[in-house]
Chain A
Amino acid sequence: MSPEHIFGLTVSGLTVGMIYALIALGYTMVYGVLQLINFAHGEVFTIGGYIAASTLIWIGVDATTPLAVKVLYFTVAVLVSLVLTATLGWLIERVAYRPLRGQTRIIALLSAIGTSIFLQNMIVIIFGPQPIIMPTAIVPTGFVEIFGARIRILQIVIIVVSLLLMGLLTWIVKGTRIGKAMRATSQDREAAEMMGIETNLTISFTFVMGSALAAIGGFLVAMYYGSLQFNTGFLYGLKAFTAAVLGGIGNIPGAVVGALILGLAENWGVGLSLGVLAWLLVAGLGLGLYFQLVRAPRQRISHIADEFRTPAYERQVRNVYRFAPVLAVRTLLSERTDALVHVSAQHALRLMVGNIIIFGLAIVFFASGDMQFASKWQHVISFVVLMAILMFRPSGILGENIQEKV
């Protein structure tokens, strides 16, 4: 396990993470505005990649094309893909979601799934079931050595492009009029409407922007892996949504952070030996213990109303976290506990179970030493991450940012 190897894995983790982030941003923005999981987003991503790749195939690029012309073709492909995919995003919202405003969530979600299946099968019907191959001539090749690791130039391109796009998005959301309208709409649609904001237009704009980002993500994936399949978007969509939940749904920086963590976790998880992963688990255990013993009780105690605050009461709450399993179970079983202690006990028990699981895994991993997860388990890792985050911090790492109306 050389440091170069670890660095290389980190860079590819960040690359994949950036692509997840581009997709996750679309999920999180739509969720913020409509409280709807836009299932069709994964398909929009695939279609973006397909359109870009087939435009390039149609133009016809080969190794003899001069660089300037290549750049021109490249730009044309990106633009075509952006425009068509953004239109598709707008159309999806118009046809499948807008008629359902005001219906229950489950209905809208079903419509989203129907759209997703329809689009996925339309890709097969239009482009055929075989994967579409990206013309290799357009893809930047070559490597650079950084810290002794061979890094593909394409990886650097992906990371830089994604960072630029995220900067652009942040500027749009924070610094422009339409961004302000988006934030207002996601806070309270009715109130925003009363203030003279065209909420329908704003929602459409959100879909257009999310789809455009996904289209670029699709293009980058097609370049990175050389090909795209009709069902690529399904898995990417799932993971990007996981990333959005991980960072806190509705939270734009959260989506990026969650996506990067997920990308790293996947690449480290199958690339590093169990002995090395065990050290990561030890670090995680440290964090978990910090949460259990310091952060959580402190936060809980700060919620005690002043007139009830006594040192004995504070100690009781703190002890529930400290001696979690025994005391927490006893507290939960006893009938004479007040709500704060009861909630603390539940929370402490959850944290404790998590820490015990991490501890057990760390020991198993240390004992397994040089063994490694086969790469076919890669997708399982993101699922485990999703379950863990839902179990212990459902609001995500940076906290969710949606206004729920009762």
Chain B
Amino acid sequence: MAAITARISSFFGRVPRWVYIVAVLAFAIAFPMLEYFGLMQTLWLRVGTRALVYVLLAVGLNLVLGETGLLHLGYVAFFAVGAYTTAILSSPRFDIQWNFWVIIAIAMGLAMLFGFLIGVPTLRLRGDYLAIVTLAFGEITRMTLNNWEGLTNGPGGIPGIYPPQIFGWTVDSPAEFFYLLLVTVVIVVWLLNNLKNSRIGRAWNALREDEIAAHHAGVGPTRAKMLAVVMSSGIAGLAGAIFAYYQQFINPTYFLFMQSVIVVSMVVIGGMGSIPGAILGAVVLDTTPEIIRQTFTSWLPAAIGPDFLPGVQAAMQTEFDRYRMAIFGLVIVLMVVFRPEGLLPNKLWRREMHEEDPRELEKTGQHLFDFEEGTQDLEV
């Protein structure tokens, strides 16, 4: 068994990376066409579009959680800032419709500003404080959105957000939003991937591995962490702005603490510090509940007959979300206990998680650190 999995993984390891990228991109581009040609229900296009929003959030959070190793639990607050910026500046609420690019800029800028303000008091401190402050910030943002009725219309939310116009192109169907988001995701992922291999990317990884050592090697911890927090806040603001355009209606219940946790679990389950992992985590976690729900409410009844397990069908419609969250919680615990490196792990993380296991060293290769041989020589 082990031999088979090893052979399979070595086969997949030998396929060059660009093949995966092209395959995934081709699938993504073809995806809305399935709906266009009637091969798929519109529901799935909507699920796919929402999954892309989560992909954006997951890669953004990965910057903080995976690359820099800071636990950020209020990510949805920045998402909310972006969404409400769009909703206020482009809806009948105040009867204004600003330009798409201006709104995107304001949404990202505001989210980054909030990220900065949260970072100032907390990033100088131990990592745990960031977790608790961001958590509190997420809750406060939601409460403020709920309470500040003059601006946000409170729990009633803001309906009727105007569709965006990009160079004369009015984006108003799910397929068009899918492509808009796809382009955004590709650009963001490309930028983040470049950052990962840059000087600051290495500084982030160094901080994650050992803050004191990184500091003494000349990495300014506060500044580097601040950069990560501010940039990921900006990505969340961008995602929020597009999400609001797509959803056309937002209210504070879209921005619960659980949403932050879901994004965190996407990153953890996908593999912290790995961009493909974050993407996979987002897609899997966003589509699986829908697949399970459809299986029990429409596919199985259609295949077996309408009398199929009436209790289960009813339970699936009402109780499902609750079980889903409980299972989420359980999966996070099991994941960090048994496979802390995630589904598509980052090599460095995997090695760190399995330091005691000599096979890991062989699998991930000694060549990760070029200097390692040198140090061994010194020790001998």
Q: Hey, which bits of chain A sit against chain B, CB under 8 A?
A: 35, 37, 95-96, 99-100, 103-111, 113-122, 124-125, 129, 234-235, 238, 241-242, 245, 374, 376-377, 379-380, 382-383, 386-387, 390-391, 394, 406
Contact = CB atoms under 8 A, between A and B. Distances in A.
B120 A391 contact: yes
A356 B326 CA distance: 46
**Most chain B beta-carbon neighbours within 10 Å: one of A108, A118, A241, A394:** A118
B246 to A, nearest CB: 27
A238 B146 CA distance: 19
A383 B336 contact: no
B336 A114 contact: yes
Contacts of B127: 105-106
B340 to A, nearest CB: 5
A121 B133 contact: no
A380 B144 contact: yes
Contacts of A238: 132, 135-136, 139
B223 to A, nearest CB: 14
Interface string B305-340: 000000000000001001101101111110111001
Interface string B129-150: 1011101110110011011000
B138 to A, nearest CB: 10
B329 A114 contact: yes
B140 A117 contact: no
Interface of B: 65, 69-71, 73, 120-122, 124-125, 127-129, 131-133, 135-137, 139-140, 143-144, 146-147, 212, 257-258, 261, 264-265, 268, 319, 322-323, 325-326, 328-333, 335-337, 340, 352-353
A116 B329 contact: yes
A235 B140 CA distance: 11
15 contacts: A104-B69, A109-B71, A110-B264, A110-B336, A113-B73, A113-B329, A114-B265, A117-B258, A121-B323, A125-B323, A238-B132, A376-B146, A383-B136, A386-B136, A387-B121
Nearest to A31: B128
Contacts of A110: 71, 264, 268, 332, 336
B329 A115 contact: yes
A105 B352 CA distance: 13
B147 A376 contact: yes
The 3 closest A-B pairs by CB, nearest first: A118-B329, A114-B332, A117-B329
B132 A406 contact: no
A391 B128 contact: no
Contact of B333 (A111, A241, A406): A111
Contacts, number: 124
Contacts of A115: 329, 333
Contacts of B120: 391
Chain A interface, >50% SS class: helix
A241 B132 contact: yes
B325 A121 contact: yes
A380 B131 contact: no
A106 B69 contact: yes
Contact of A242 (B136, B328, B331, B340): B136
Contacts of B121: 387, 390-391, 394
A245 B132 contact: yes
A386 B143 contact: no
B348 to A, nearest CB: 12
A106 B329 contact: no
B125 to A, nearest CB: 5
Chain B interface, >50% SS class: helix
A234 B143 CA distance: 14
Nearest to A118: B329
Contacts of B325: 117, 120-121
B322 A383 contact: no
A386 B131 CA distance: 13
A100 B336 contact: yes
B336 A124 contact: no
Nearest to B73: A113
B320 to A, nearest CB: 11
Nearest to A125: B322
B133 A387 contact: yes
Contacts of A234: 257
A184 B332 CA distance: 32
Contacts of B353: 103
A288 to B, nearest CB: 16
B119 to A, nearest CB: 11
Nearest to B265: A114
Given A111-B332, A111-B333, A114-B328, 18 more contacts: A103-B336, A106-B65, A106-B70, A110-B268, A113-B329, A114-B331, A114-B333, A117-B332, A118-B329, A121-B326, A122-B326, A238-B132, A238-B135, A374-B147, A379-B143, A390-B121, A390-B122, A394-B124
Contacts of B352: 104
Contacts of B139: 235, 238, 379, 383
B337 to A, nearest CB: 5
B125 A394 contact: yes
Contacts of A105: 127-128
A113 B261 contact: yes
**Most chain B beta-carbon neighbours within 10 Å: one of A129, A382, A387, A391:** A387
A24 to B, nearest CB: 13
Given A104-B69, A124-B322, A380-B143, A109 B136 contact: no
Contacts of A109: 71, 128, 131
A104 B353 CA distance: 9
Contact of B322 (A103, A121, A245): A121
B337 A99 contact: yes
A402 to B, nearest CB: 9
Nearest to A395: B125
Contacts of A119: 329
A46 B264 CA distance: 24
Contacts of B319: 125
A99 to B, nearest CB: 5
Contact of B337 (A35, A96, A125): A96
A37 B71 CA distance: 12
Contacts of A37: 128, 131-132
Nearest to A392: B121
A112 to B, nearest CB: 9
A401 B327 CA distance: 36
A35 to B, nearest CB: 8
Contacts of B257: 234
Contacts of B331: 114
